[in-house]
Structure 1
Amino acid sequence: MRFIEAFSSLVAVATLAQGQLTRINDFPGTPTRLQMWAAVPPKSFQGPHPIVVAVHHCQGSAQGYAGNTRYVQLGQQNGFIVIYPNSKSGGGCFDVASQATLTHNGGGDSQTIANMVKYAIEKLGGDGSRVFSAGTSSGAMMSNVLAGVYPDVFKAVSVYSGVPAGCFAVQGATATQDPPGWANNCANGQLIKTAQQWGDQVRNMYPGYNGTRPRMQIFHGTADNTLRYPNYNEQLKQWSNVLGLSNPRNSTNTPKSGWTRSIYGEGNEKTAPLVGYSANGVGHSVPQQEAMDLAFFGITN
């Protein structure tokens, strides 16, 4: 049996080694039937490999998001595995509303994605000490949730035009409903809490956890009419509280004209625990900055 399992793993790696995004058919999709798509780096890169989970937006798909981002190509060039989860919902959104997905090992979409990471570690040569997530819109919301619910799995997260972890919580929402719950007050930037309240919401996702928390990089456009701009400040309030940070260092027109960068804690934009980017005049959503993501994750310089 062990020989068969080992052989199957080798076949999976060999199939994926061509640098093409491939559906992982033997991933069971539990507990919520999400599809797992992945690409592994060439054999010239010795493992174990970093893992980047790239989470798509509503009305999106794993294949579509892979085509609109450069993580697969960059994984081939820099030696990391990329996982693209594929939503099960008709509208392509991920469940960031149910108590199940907002609870560690609670049985929601967040646990299915964490299980994809486990699969990549066990069968694709992934490095469990270097696991990261990036996402846009619904994928940004899920990436924030992953940072809160699975801080033991993810080391750093980059979110594009999202909302705070738990902001979309809907009473009575279930992990199986389609579409997932939608919270208008959060989407419209009307759900305002103190930093302590937001931080407590994260801590309650994994009661008793006292380990290291993921580093966070947050992008948001001031002209976002889908997940409105006040959500940017609410995210910064949340993660600055979780990470025990205050008094950011702000730089205008950085890294682009009209953008303002805020660095919390020691270090620079690549190494600090929390970095925010406010993009003046940008709508929904902020274009992906893959090179910045990889530098923030420590995969590249």
Structure 2
Amino acid sequence: MPRKVSARLAAVLAATALVLSALVMATPASAASLTQVTNFGDNPGNMQMHVYVPVTHTAKPAIVLAMHGCGGSGPDFYSGSEFASLADRYGFVVIYPTATQSAGFGNCFDTWSDAAKRRGGGSDPVSLISMINYVEQHYNGDPKQVFATGSSSGGMMTDEMLALYPDVFKAGAAFMGVPFGCFANAADYPPTTSKCTGGSMTRTPQEWGDLVRQAYPGYAGPRPPLQLWHGTSDTLVPYQLLQEDIKQWTDVFGLSRTPTSTDTPQAGWTRQRFADPSGTVNVEAYSVQGAGHSLPSSGMAGYAIQFFGLTGSPGTTPPTGGAGCKVTAAVSSWNTGLTENITITDTGDSAVNGWSLTFTLPGGQTITNGWNASYTPSSGQVTATNESFNGALAPGQSTTIGFQATHTGNTAAPRGFVLNGATCAAG
């Protein structure tokens, strides 16, 4: 038979339990959680809003609008994608909207109605803009660092938002989407017979481009770059639509449909980049060999965030403007090879803790090996990321990185150096 606990011992145990309970309750949460927001503003799409704010973030964090596919929800996309974990790493805020409309499937983002195809016309796009405004007002979100991404229906809405609100978004990444204006109306939306997703939708580049230009008549400002992803075995949203998407956005940017670079950043991924004469990549398209209607898969969200320029460290102030960083490049060449050393200097007033330096290699140059940084891809627009020993730069401090490369005659130095999203002055 168990022994009785004395009244005195029981009192001590009870008091200890109270103290431990108080300590637990007083301890702040160590991880962020998904939070639902109601009454976020004008909501003609009758949408729901969830937001994820990482524990560590910048004073004015970037905003990523991350949108689910048909039949899903914001919380589903939060738990089933990598954007929240990337937010923890890089310090941006993620909005996870839930669509409630239906055009055959349930919970689809409205990319078919006339209202949704006009700036300020109503429906889901207006609700999404309200969510962005809410985060800017209540979480001090940076209105100059707003991005859109999504899968399937959410990928389609990514194209839509960039067409309707080019002045709001800085860039987008659409997974398994379609060109803006592809759906004629609700009757043209899957799973019913759809001309858009039926496998035979073709328009000229100018016809596709005109649909974007007509969405915001008279707009003459900069357009947000767009990253596109599609599986080659996608049967629900046929792979052929990736080419139509490329037609649309290269026409919007006035670019050739011949890629300025093509590479394989990972096995089974073919990446085509379409850059302007200055080397700025405005359209980037990934073909994922053998993938069906199942994107994004592991690692893809990271490439989207890198495309957005959000891979600096959270909680630090990166250099801003040309005066914040300086880059000096020195090239030594021979026959078909060259060696290049690049010196990066923080000329701003704040420290850089973790950096990514992007630049564009001249045509015909391919990196074969490098030092003091990791380089991806090996040609075209390259991103060099710091090693563990050289990620911190105090104001006035420099670090030197370098690589060997092959060339086909052009031995010029790279151009367009950008450090953590800030354009650097040439040394």
Deviation of 1:137 after TM superposition, in Å, equals 0.4
Contact 2:190 2:197 in 1 (8 A): no
Q: For each residue in 1:251-296, what CA deviation from the matched residue of structure 2 results, as whole angstroms up to 9, or x when unmatched?
A: 25x1222322111014999x61111011121111333411101110
What is the correspondence of 1:95-110 to structure 2 with a 5 Å cutoff?
A: 95-110=110-125
* Pair 1:68–1:169, CA change in 2 (3 A): same
| Number of aligned residues | 279
Q: For each residue in 1:188-221, what CA deviation from the matched residue of structure 2 results, as whole angstroms up to 9, or x when unmatched?
A: 2322000000000011111111111110000111
- Whether 1:248 and 2:259 are equivalent positions in the alignment is yes
What's 2:63 paired with? 51
Contact 2:81 2:296 in 1 (8 A): no
Secondary structure in structure 2 of the residue aligned to 1:273: strand
Q: For each residue in 1:105-160, what CA deviation from the matched residue of structure 2 results, as whole angstroms up to 9, or x when unmatched?
A: 00120111111111111111100000001110000000110010111111100011
Distance in 1 between residues matched to 2:152 and 2:186, nearest whole Å: 21
Q: Which has the larger radius of gyration?
A: 2
The gaps in structure 1 that reach 5 residues or longer are 1-14, 174-178
- Among residues 200, 213, 237, which one is paired with 1:203 in the alignment? 213
- Whether 1:193 and 2:203 are equivalent positions in the alignment is yes
What's 1:80 paired with? 92
- Whether 1:272 and 2:281 are equivalent positions in the alignment is yes
Contact 1:98 1:172 in 2 (8 A): no
Could you list the structure 1 runs, at least 4 aligned residues long, displaced by more than 2 angstroms after superposition.
15-18, 179-183, 249-252, 256-259, 266-269, 285-288
Amino acid at match of 1:229: Y
What is the correspondence of 1:69-218 to structure 2 with a 5 Å cutoff?
A: 69-89=81-101, 91-170=106-185, 184-218=194-228
Amino acid at match of 1:62: G
Contact 2:172 2:224 in 1 (8 A): yes
Q: Quick one: higher RCO (CA 8 Å, sep 6+), 1 or 2?
A: 1
What's 2:402 paired with? none
Amino acid at match of 1:152: D
Distance in 2 between residues matched to 1:241 and 1:183, nearest whole Å: 28
Contact 1:132 1:156 in 2 (8 A): yes
Amino acid at match of 2:282: P
Distance in 2 between residues matched to 1:78 and 1:220, nearest whole Å: 26
Amino acid at match of 2:52: A
Amino acid at match of 2:75: Q
Contact 2:255 2:276 in 1 (8 A): no
- Among residues 49, 67, 72, which one is paired with 1:36 in the alignment? 49
What's 1:219 paired with? 229
Distance in 1 between residues matched to 2:184 and 2:63, nearest whole Å: 28
Amino acid at match of 1:116: M
TM-score (norm. length: structure 1): 0.86
Amino acid at match of 1:292: Y
- Among residues 226, 230, 240, which one is paired with 1:230 in the alignment? 240
Secondary structure in structure 2 of the residue aligned to 1:184: coil
Give the share of equivalent positions with the same residue, in percent. 38
- Whether 1:290 and 2:305 are equivalent positions in the alignment is no
Distance in 1 between residues matched to 2:83 and 2:261, nearest whole Å: 28
Amino acid at match of 2:107: G
Q: Return the structure number with greater strand share.
A: 2
Distance in 2 between residues matched to 1:202 and 1:160, nearest whole Å: 19
Distance in 1 between residues matched to 2:149 and 2:29, nearest whole Å: 21
Contact 2:261 2:274 in 1 (8 A): no
Amino acid at match of 1:54: A
Contact 2:50 2:96 in 1 (8 A): yes
Amino acid at match of 1:87: A
Contact 1:98 1:181 in 2 (8 A): no
Deviation of 1:71 after TM superposition, in Å, equals 1.2
* Pair 1:16–1:223, CA change in 2 (3 A): farther
RMSD, aligned α-carbons: 2.5
* Pair 1:25–1:272, CA change in 2 (3 A): same
Distance in 2 between residues matched to 1:211 and 1:109, nearest whole Å: 24
* Pair 1:180–1:225, CA change in 2 (3 A): closer
* Pair 1:17–1:214, CA change in 2 (3 A): farther
Secondary structure in structure 1 of the residue aligned to 2:304: helix
Secondary structure in structure 1 of the residue aligned to 2:142: strand
Contact 1:19 1:72 in 2 (8 A): no
